[in-house]
Amino acid sequence: MTDRTSTRKEHSVNLGGKSVVLISGTTLTGGTDTLTMTLADYGIRNVLAVEGFVHTTDYSVIVAESGTTAVSSGILTYTSAAGNNSKRRVVIVTGES
């Protein structure tokens, strides 16, 4: 587990050709939130899936949310859906290593 910033925690595992990274916010965020990650830091060459989740109430049940993603110059950007004020988010990135 690596705490890259004071507002998120990252967990990663290499599954023999695939890498899975879980990014979990450590603070509540309001409205639209943007997370970025450098794919090479996790040995990811090709992104296979990006799944976003949000807590329904403060630190409670997690449900899927529809965020948008983009990859440019090896950096993945995930932008959460608007309208989920003061919620904690979790993003799971799966890619080929």
Q: What CATH number corresponds to the domain at position 37?
A: 2.60.40.1290
Whether the predicted model's global pTM rises above the 0.85 cut? no
Q: Which residues of 28-64 are buried (b: 16+ CB within 10 A; e: fewer)?
A: ebeeebebebebeebebeeeeebebbbbeeeeeeeee
Domain count for the chain: 1
The residue type of 52 is: G
Task: 65-73: list long-range contacts, CB under 8 Å, 24+ apart.
Answer: 65/89, 67/91, 71/39, 71/47
Tens place of pLDDT for every residue, the chain, 97 residues? 333 444 566 677 767 778 888 777 766 566 677 888 899 988 888 999 999 888 777 667 788 888 889 999 999 998 887 765 667 778 889 889 8
Query: Which residue range is the domain that position 83 belongs to?
Result: 2-96
